[in-house]
Structures are given as structure tokens and as C-alpha cells.
Structure 1
């Protein structure tokens, strides 16, 4: 398979297949992903510190760093573009060590995050910034599952269908972002 081929992948396969993806490959991702940004990451970390379960299982999970706008009539979600991933870096190594397999966002990641990705066989997929309306067309379901008081930054369970992404950083530390 050449790097120009699009890899169709379901989030349920990430636990086994994330380690096989390489920087620069194009992925059409389907399945379940959770929106979570810095305010939600902070609350989830506080829950973990208290010995509580997070609002979704991190084992094999995909997190999309996004704060979708409200859904227009007849749509499951509004504009849903990526946010800057580095804002989640203080929390991410712990989440990766708890089984997180895939992060979706934009921009670079810290050395600590990349080391945790390598340690855990995880992948960072880049979404196209500024194309939130286009991204929303690949989201067929959206349900708020935690922290509703955070508004657009609440944790949402998304159902993705052929969401176009590029492997930004792979599980070996290979990167298109350097």
C-alpha cells in the first residue's frame, strides 16, 4: 500500500491497528470518538485523581479535540473543526498510559506526548483546520455524555463515517509536523 492510499479504519480497530499507521498516511475514520478539550481534560484528570471512572473508557478510545457548535435543524451537529492539540498535552501522557489509542486535532505535540504515544502504540491524526462545516458532514451522531455545563466543550460521543484525517504522528514517533 502506498502512502497515498486512503486507509478505511473503524475506531474499534485502533487498539490493534494504530501501531501500523505511519506519518503521512490518509485515514477515513468511522466509529465512535469523544470530544474533549482542556476544560474536560482537567475535570477527567480530577476524577481519576479521586479514583473515579471517567465519563468514557479510555481503553482503545479516540478523542477528537473539538468544541462543536450547536446542531442546525435536521443535522446531528454543527461545525466541528479541530482545536489546537498542544493545550491537552499536560493531561495526555496519563490518558495514553490508561489506554487512549488515538487523538484527533491540529498542530504539534510535546516530546512527553510523543514518548507516551511510542510507549503505548498510539497515533495522532490531524484534521483540517478551518473546515469544521465539512467535518460535520462526516459525523452522523452526537450525544452529550458529560459536563453539559461546559457548553460546546462538554464531552460528546460522536459517530463518525469516513472522517478524512492524516496521520500526523505515528506510534514510532514519525511526524509530518516537524
Structure 2
């Protein structure tokens, strides 16, 4: 039986293990948006024994390189859509095992090494809808911090405060299940958003 859950990071192992494929999740609070180059630098710091600019224990990682705008009052996220997660599989598996990452948000699923880490350490992968950058940008309350701007705006670490980030579908859980190995994940995502009265491209549906 599926459930609808609201989670507030940092996420505990118990919370992550309570999630099952098909569950619907909304995230409230701090989410880290980052991509390839930030992950690479994180491991370089780890290998040198240096401190990280953010706390990764219980963290939520969103595979996203947002389009941002700098104003007098700070940073504004113009659009923020998920990027394909498969290429992060090996790195995120290590991040889960070494740093205590609990939730990954992305699209397209991840490979076997990530699935093994999810099972071993207690974590989950949440599927979001591609092509919905405008919709997700509206769920960002503010930019709390940004680190490593020298990598470029899309590759920096964006520390975001999210308000009802979702609905997100648990697509890989700590029991070794993956909806990507089962039929109908795109159908499930479409059904989920339809039930919520949401056009996954970012506009309210007429109901």
C-alpha cells in the first residue's frame, strides 16, 4: 500500500527506509542542487581530508543545474529542472556510503551500484518530471547559500529552501526495488500529477 509523505531534511535512515516504491513524497526545507563538477570537487576535498562547505549527513541531493539571476536582494531561481541521473550513479553510490546522503531527486533512474548503496545504507531515489523547470522553480522559497561559483552557475552547489517540493515518486527504495525495472513508471508519474491537478510542464490543469 502506497503512502503520501512530507519529509523535512535532514532525513534519518529510519525515514528513508520507511519509503517504498510508489510512495509520493513532498520535501520541505533544505535541498542541495548540484551536478558533476561539484561532486568531483567534493571527493577531491574528501581525499585531502578537507572540510565540505555543506553538511551531507541526511542530505537531499537534487540533480539540477538551475538557471539563476542575480539581483540586489540576492539570487533568484528562474528555472530548475532535473538533469538525467544515470551519469551520477557511481559518484552518488559513494556519497551515500561515505557521507550519509539519504535522498536523491532526479530523472531516469540510476544503475546497480546506486541501488546497492540505497539498500546497504538506507536511502531512496525520487523521480521528478523532465521538462518541468518552471513548475519546480516555483517551489523554491529562497536560495539559502551558494558555493563554488568558480565552477560556473549550473555546476555550483545551490543550497535551496524548498516549499512543498513535489509530488515526487519513490522510484528506487532501500529494499532493492526499482520502478525502472518494472512497467509503467512514466504512466505512474503522469497519473500522480493528474491526480494532484498538476500539468507536469508547470501549469495547473483544468479540472
TM-score norm. by structure 1 comes to 0.91
Q: Give the 5 Å matches for 1:106-117.
A: 106-117=107-118
| Separation in structure 1 between the aligned mates of residue 149 and residue 34 of structure 2, nearest angstrom | 12
Q: Which has the higher contact order (CA 8 A, sep 6+)?
A: 1
SS at match of 2:77: coil
Note if contact 1:141-1:160 (Cα within 8 Å) is conserved in structure 2.
yes
| 1:72-102 residue CA offsets vs partner (Å, 9 max, x unmatched) | 8798311101011112122112210121111
Alignment partner of 1:16 out of 14, 17, 21: 14
Gaps of 5+ in 1: none
Give the superposition deviation at 1:71. Answer: 3.7
Residue 28 of structure 2 is aligned to residue 26 of structure 1: no
| Separation in structure 1 between the aligned mates of residue 12 and residue 29 of structure 2, nearest angstrom | 10
Which consecutive aligned stretches of 4+ in structure 1 deviate over 4 angstroms post-superposition?
72-75
Larger mean CA deviation between 65-74 and 48-57 belongs to 65-74
Give the superposition deviation at 1:53. Answer: 1.9
For the aligned residue pairs, the C-alpha RMSD in angstroms reads 1.8
Q: Give the 5 Å matches for 1:64-83.
A: 64-71=62-69, 76-83=76-83
| Separation in structure 1 between the aligned mates of residue 104 and residue 69 of structure 2, nearest angstrom | 23
How many residues matched? 176
Gaps of 5+ in 2: 182-207
**Greater Rg over alpha carbons, structure:** 2
Residue 145 of structure 2 is aligned to residue 148 of structure 1: no
| Separation in structure 2 between the aligned mates of residue 30 and residue 112 of structure 1, nearest angstrom | 28
| Separation in structure 1 between the aligned mates of residue 14 and residue 53 of structure 2, nearest angstrom | 23
Q: Give the 5 Å matches for 1:118-133.
A: 118-133=119-134
Give the superposition deviation at 1:58. Answer: 1.5
Give the superposition deviation at 1:127. Answer: 1.1
Give the superposition deviation at 1:8. Answer: 1.6
SS at match of 1:118: helix
| 1:5-54 residue CA offsets vs partner (Å, 9 max, x unmatched) | 42122123444301100111111111101111111111111111111122
Larger mean CA deviation between 62-71 and 11-20 belongs to 11-20
Residue 49 of structure 2 is aligned to residue 48 of structure 1: no
Note if contact 2:11-2:59 (Cα within 8 Å) is conserved in structure 1.
no
| Separation in structure 1 between the aligned mates of residue 89 and residue 170 of structure 2, nearest angstrom | 18
Give the superposition deviation at 1:144. Answer: 4.2
